[in-house]
Amino acid sequence: MGLDFTAIDFETANGFRGSPCAVGLTKVRGGQIVDEASWLMRPPPNHDHFDYHNVRIHGIRADDVAGHPRFGELFPEIGAFIGDDILAAHNAAFDLGVIRSGLEVSGLPGPAYDYVCTVMLSRRCYSLVSNSLPFAAEEAGVPLVKHHDAAEDARACAGILIDIARRNQANSIAELYLSLGLVMPRQQAFDPGTDGLSKSSIAALAAAGGGTSAPLRPFQAGWPEEGANPLPNPDAEPGHPLYGQTVVFTGELSIGRPEAKRRSADVGARPESRVTGRTTVLVVGDGFVASDLRSGRLTGKARRVLELHGRGQAIEVLSEGEFLQMVGDFAAASIA
């Protein structure tokens, strides 16, 4: 078996994972890109509004997808392109969640997928202050020209996985995971007639039906409330990119630090209140994006992270958008 897989990237219309408006796919055989596909689409009914923050990130508007098939109508083509391949995605919890939630609210079954997360592999195999897609792609020698173009992001993800396999002298995904001592995660098949809905879909359906969803927290001047530091969830999925990480938050967050800490603990992370030698992840609010690491628009905690990283500590910076993608926030846009 060679290095065979399909890389995937979704863009969403709003903060709900199940609102895909674009997808990019890159098929790899024997460590070489052999085919690509991309589609615009309308999100599922009742989940097809376009939020300002999402449009600002990817540039896709409702008019751009008008007349295109909805996700549920298009998924047979997407699924046919993927076939039985292992899926690769940069922050796979998000992209696999798009498939699951999109199918759930469309009332459609979904297949099982083995998958790999190139954020986790980048963290394991590179030494970067940010493992966001542009930084990891640059390290892999496949720099992004247009981040948040689904086709280009999928191609970059494929390039990262090819590079990591090469550096580890692995000739297949199975060989790579064996060499790293990892177990490949799997998203189980879904049958709408028998299986329960994900938390993300339940929240989205409640909102669409006039219920309540977690609102964005209004900006409040002054020192943010830290709140308690809950213990990591012992039953969390070990394959999650935040599992086992020690996470600190800085800047104004849309959901508030106590809630952010709870969500990080739910997925197996250990939240703390200040940057120390234990810290492995710093989540930055205030509209921070990875490129700010180069421009210098940083909080004091972020500068401390850069200092510690320069001294060799395994520590990285995430934008709030990347964090919210990882923990499955409903209200916030998919900003990465």
Q: What is the pLDDT of residues 281-318, one digit of tens each?
A: 999 887 777 777 877 777 788 888 888 888 888 888 88
Q: Output DSSP code: residue 227.
A: -
What gap in Å lies between CA 130 and CA 316, rounded to an integer? 5
CA 25 vs. chain centroid, Å, equals 16
Pairwise pLDDT comparison (200 vs 173), residue with the higher score? 173
Closest C-alpha among 209, 294, 217, 208 to residue 251: 217
246, 232 Cβ separation under 8 angstroms: no
What is the number of other CB atoms lying within 10 angstroms of the CB of residue 225? 9
Which strands form 87-89's sheet, in the order they lie side by side?
A: 32-40, 20-29, 5-12, 87-89, 113-117, 186-187
Task: Give the ranges where the chain is alpha helix by DSSP (H).
Answer: 52-58, 62-65, 71-82, 92-106, 118-125, 133-140, 150-167, 173-180, 199-208, 257-266, 292-295, 300-310, 320-327
pLDDT digits (tens, 9 = 90+) for 56-101: 889 999 999 999 999 999 999 999 999 999 999 999 989 999 999 9
pTM given for the model: 0.84
226, 259 Cβ separation under 8 angstroms: no
Q: Return the ∠ at Cα 274 (arms to 271 and 275), rounded to 5°.
A: 100
| Dihedral sign (CA 201, 206, 208, 213) | negative
Average pLDDT taken over every residue of the chain? 88
Of 25-29, 165-169, 248-252, give the lowest mean pLDDT range: 248-252
User: Which is it for strands 32-40 and 87-89: parallel, antiparallel or unpaired?
Assistant: unpaired
Q: What is the mean pLDDT of residues 42-67?
A: 94
Cβ-Cβ contacts under 8 Å for 264 (sequence gap 6 or more): 242, 245, 247, 271, 283, 323, 327
